[in-house]
Amino acid sequence: MSVACDLVLLSWNHLEQTQPCLETLFATTRTPCRLFIVDNGSEEPVRRFLAGVKPAGAIREVVLLQNEKNEGFPRGMNRGIQASSAPYVCLLNNDLRFTPGWLEELLAVAEANPQIGVLNPESNTFGKVPPRGMPIDRFAETLGSLRGQYTEVGMCIGFCMLIARPAVERLGGLTDEVERIFFEDEDYAMRAQAAGFVCAVASASYVFHAEHQTVRQMAEREAIFQRNRRWCEGKWGRRLRIAWPRFETPPAGSPELKAWLERLIGWARRRNLVYVYAPIPQGLSGPELFRSVGLAPHVDVQWYRIPRAAAQVAAAGLILKRVKKPFDLIATPNGLWGAAIRRLGFWHRADVVPVDDEQRLTEAWTRKSRSLS
């Protein structure tokens, strides 16, 4: 059977979530696909229900993979990944609500951009929440003008994660080094980017996520989260905040602008939040600057518009004002301004490095990211 995508849905009890999840999945999926349901040792009534799920519509085949005990999220998903063979495999939680065209848009974006290895839909998980009283299907329709667009991200989240076959062949499945759940998706995204793939969110695909319904009642949930977070940071380093002021922005669409933005994206791909303080041309936003040179915006490059006439003073004020979540690094654009910011280190406590010295910037980043205290 030839299908465009294999869906892998992980189940563990909580039929009150799984049943409506499956109902919306069957009702909204239009591309021929195969559904693997991996059940992680659910109670007998749930097993009977899942055994009765039959193919319908575009879902041409349903395969139940029954585990006798709860193997955890990564191992459960990996059983489905190993069984899959389609050009794409999409990992699904059992607490999702799908909207019409969700899969078709994911596949369209992935097909048009082969550099994407891992792709999420838009979701309330990312802050896209329908206005009060608006059904999620209607809200999804409002995103229609964004078809074909995507935003690059530093990490994809495993609630609904499309993986291209080349990435599966290169990376394999999710790591089983984590304990049961949490951070296996972040690790996969980091491995994907290290292998040269892009992680992204498709702007016009929408899936609602009733987050962590299955694990919310786990007494050990917070302890597992913290242990897995320490494991992830030990492997990939701590996520850093970098201030990146620039007092003159290259013209929109120029080769100089493209080279600068590509550098910012490169630093964002290293698990960093890059805060750009720069004069942005009137009528453009930060994301539109990316698109003016044919690049997708990166969600971890955050823009703060400052006036051109007082750019140095404005940038310094905004950087020094940030005290609750202070910067780890400040990439300084010139010697005099950098010297002044360096003298204020008692206040901001960041490493101050000339932006043009890539080696020193990398050394400071490595030291800071590996400091796990």
Q: Are both 167 and 254 inside the same structural domain?
A: no
Mean local confidence (pLDDT), 179-206: 95
Q: Are both 36 and 142 inside the same structural domain?
A: yes
Number of domains in the chain: 2
Q: Are both 27 and 174 inside the same structural domain?
A: yes
Examine the fold and report which residue of 235, 256, 290 is the final residue of a domain before the chain moves on.
Answer: 235
Let me know: does 243 contact 316? Beta carbons within 8 Å: no
Q: Are both 50 and 171 inside the same structural domain?
A: yes
Q: Are both 39 and 175 inside the same structural domain?
A: yes
According to the model, what pLDDT value does residue 188 have? 97
Ramachandran angles phi, psi of 153, nearest 5°: -130, 160
Examine the fold and report which residue of 215, 235, 255 is the final residue of a domain before the chain moves on.
Answer: 235
Structural domain boundaries enclosing 203: 5-235
Q: How confident is the model at residue 219 (pLDDT cuts 50, 70, 90)?
A: low
Examine the fold and report which residue of 220, 235, 250 is the final residue of a domain before the chain moves on.
Answer: 235
According to the model, what pLDDT value does residue 216 have? 56
Residue 211 has pLDDT above 80, yes or no: no
Torsion over CA: 140, 142, 144, 146 (sign) = negative
Q: Which CATH number does the domain housing residue 257 bear?
A: 3.40.50.2000
Q: Are both 52 and 174 inside the same structural domain?
A: yes
According to the model, what pLDDT value does residue 28 have? 97
Q: How confident is the model at residue 235 (pLDDT cuts 50, 70, 90)?
A: very high
Residues contacting residue 339 through CB under 8 Å, at least 6 positions apart:
none
Q: Are both 247 and 201 inside the same structural domain?
A: no
Q: Are both 154 and 282 inside the same structural domain?
A: no
Q: How confident is the model at residue 164 (pLDDT cuts 50, 70, 90)?
A: very high
According to the model, what pLDDT value does residue 275 have? 97
Mean local confidence (pLDDT), 150-177: 96
Task: Tell me the C-alpha distance between 342 and 284, whole Å.
Answer: 32
Q: Which CATH number does the domain housing residue 171 bear?
A: 3.90.550.10
Q: Are both 224 and 167 inside the same structural domain?
A: yes
List, for residues 283-312, the tens digit of each pLDDT value.
888 899 999 999 999 999 999 999 999 999
According to the model, what pLDDT value does residue 339 have? 94
According to the model, what pLDDT value does residue 179 have? 80
| Share of residues in the chain with pLDDT > 90 (%) | 86
Residue 24 has pLDDT above 80, yes or no: yes
List, for residues 39-61, the tens digit of each pLDDT value.
999 999 999 999 999 999 999 99
Residues pairing with 274 in the sheet:
242, 301
Residue 221 has pLDDT above 90, yes or no: no
Q: Are both 45 and 81 inside the same structural domain?
A: yes
Q: How confident is the model at residue 1 (pLDDT cuts 50, 70, 90)?
A: low
Q: Are both 337 and 293 inside the same structural domain?
A: yes
List, for residues 88-105, the tens digit of each pLDDT value.
999 999 999 999 999 999
Q: How confident is the model at residue 120 (pLDDT cuts 50, 70, 90)?
A: very high
DSSP element (H, E) containing 227: helix 221-236
- Side-chain-side CA neighbours of 94 within 13 Å: the count stands at 25
Q: How confident is the model at residue 281 (pLDDT cuts 50, 70, 90)?
A: confident
Q: Are both 249 and 300 inside the same structural domain?
A: yes
